Amino acid sequence: MRMYDIIEKKRDGENLSKEEIRFFIDGYTNGDIPDYQVSAFLMSVFFRDMSEAERAELTTAMVESGDQVDLSAISGIKVDKHSTGGVGDTTTLILAPLVASLDVPVAKMSGRGLGHTGGTIDKLESVPGFHVEISSEEFVDLVNQNKVAVVGQTGNLTPADKKLYSLRDVTATVNSIPLIASSIMSKKIASGADAIVLDVKTGAGAFMKELGDAKELAEAMVSIGNRVGRNTMAVISDMSQPLGNAIGNALEVREAIETLQGNGPQDLTDLCLELGSQMVLLANKVDTLDEARDRLAENLNNGKALEQFKAFIASQGGDSTVADHPDLLPQASYTFDLPAEKSGTVSEIIADNIGTAAMMLGAGRATKESEIDLSVGIVLRKKIGDPVQKGESLLTIHANTSAVDNVKDKLYASISIADEAVEALPLIYDNIT
């Protein structure tokens, strides 16, 4: 087999066989096939697309290019959740203990990563003592005992995806549905989950800004998951404005605690109940979505979800008293409110720019080497559709410097106030199964 022929076939819009896809992924991973040939191949895929069968084969080949996490020692159906990413997305911090409170095992592998705020692990590390440096055996034991644990990424997972993603980044081939879908799904599948709930975001703060593109990506990922034997569904949710109110690491942990107490922001609570009930259903713990939702809502209100959070934090060395005393979390030295410049209705809060402002305060990493300030960030006081009076606070900035004029400018430029009434945005657009 020759890579030349595989490129030519895809260039002409033909479907590749399983063997051809394996040959390409194996050869690229071990260095036999050079970047220039793979660049040409990726551009052919960009223009010619891939069939559902090809996408599934590509994903499987990428999964098998490296290590795979074996969760078989954990009893029950392991359901993972993946979000395509957004601003202030605090759902994992809430969903992990919430879903575990119904005895669904949550074995979460998570990352630090780049972005507006840290990843789930960074956020959790704002709890004094909490750590994710646990062995694979301990991880499995913790999930079996407590139903929930979070561990950092270990092993050499999907090396083919790492190489392909770097090459796509410099060849203008990132934005291709078959390539994005196989990239995301290969990592989820290699992480060992039996079933997967996807939260595909759409809007200004999302990777897929248009609803149609988000749906297409969701359908592609659901098809791959189901074809490779992992029960998969997707929720398409809004990310035009940030989710919830808090954007920042310790600030999001506080928001997660409030939500687990039943006092969280409405949108964040609703999305967690939606994603959580889909997870509980895929785990076969209930017969209907309504039953799942009722039982999860009950555990937010009766303290069980919060108890589960405390047990989880304590089991990984963290100080679980933060759940009752969130002031023990890192706090910034200064807070500043952003007064509305006119009266009206909030009509736009551009999620991306709010995220950038949080990053300017130090909440996120620009490069892998950057240090995160866990205490800083932004707490929104108003969301789209809310009425506001001139002078009223739109949001609160938490900073460790008093020089925040550039951040304020950025924030003012990201929030619009209309004279007329504005409808609140839908939170969930669609479910794809």
Task: Decide if 183 is catalytic.
Answer: yes
* Nearer to ligand URA among residue 192 and residue 264 (C-beta): 192
Task: Decide if 381 is catalytic.
Answer: no
Q: Describe the chain by its helix, strand, coil percentages, rounded to 5.
A: 45, 15, 40
Q: Which of residues 155-194 bind ligand URA (CB under 6 A)?
A: 165, 174, 179-180, 183-184
Q: Is there binding between residue 237 and Ca ion (CB under 5 A)?
A: no
With beta carbons less than 8 A apart as the criterion, state whether 415 and 353 touch.
Answer: no
Catalytic residue among 80, 89, 122, 161, which?
A: 161
DSSP state of 371: P
CB of 141 to ligand URA, least distance (A): 29
Dihedral sign computed on CA atoms, order 259, 265, 266, 267: negative
| Longest pairwise C-alpha distance within the chain | 70
**Among Ca ion, ligand URA, none, what does residue 244 contact (CB within 5–8 Å per kind)?**
Ca ion
**Among ligand URA, Ca ion, none, what does residue 180 contact (CB within 5–8 Å per kind)?**
ligand URA
Cα–Cα nearest to 422, from 377, 387, 382: 387
Q: Report the run of H or E that residue 235 belongs to, with start and end.
A: strand 231-238
**Among ligand URA, Ca ion, none, what does residue 184 contact (CB within 5–8 Å per kind)?**
ligand URA
**Among ligand URA, Ca ion, none, what does residue 246 contact (CB within 5–8 Å per kind)?**
Ca ion
Residue from 90, 117, 202, 259 in contact with Ca ion (CB under 5 A): 90
* Nearer to ligand URA among residue 95 and residue 180 (C-beta): 180
With beta carbons less than 8 A apart as the criterion, state whether 251 and 377 touch.
Answer: yes
Cα 302 from Cα 298, distance rounded (Å): 6
Catalytic residue among 147, 187, 365, 383, which?
A: 187
Task: Decide if 223 is catalytic.
Answer: no
CB of 185 to ligand URA, least distance (A): 9
C-alpha dist (Å) from residue 97 to 105, 107, 316: 10, 11, 13
Q: Is there binding between residue 241 and Ca ion (CB under 5 A)?
A: no
Q: Is there binding between residue 246 and Ca ion (CB under 5 A)?
A: yes
CB of 95 to Ca ion, least distance (A): 13
Task: Decide if 22 is catalytic.
Answer: no
* Nearer to ligand URA among residue 198 and residue 399 (C-beta): 198
Task: Decide if 161 is catalytic.
Answer: yes
Cα 224 from Cα 23, distance rounded (Å): 20
At what angle are helices 159-170 and 52-63 packed, to 10 degrees?
A: 120
For binding to ligand URA (CB under 6 A), which residues are involved?
165, 174, 179-180, 183-184
Residues recognised as catalytic: 82, 161, 168, 183, 187
For binding to Ca ion (CB under 5 A), which residues are involved?
88, 90, 244, 246
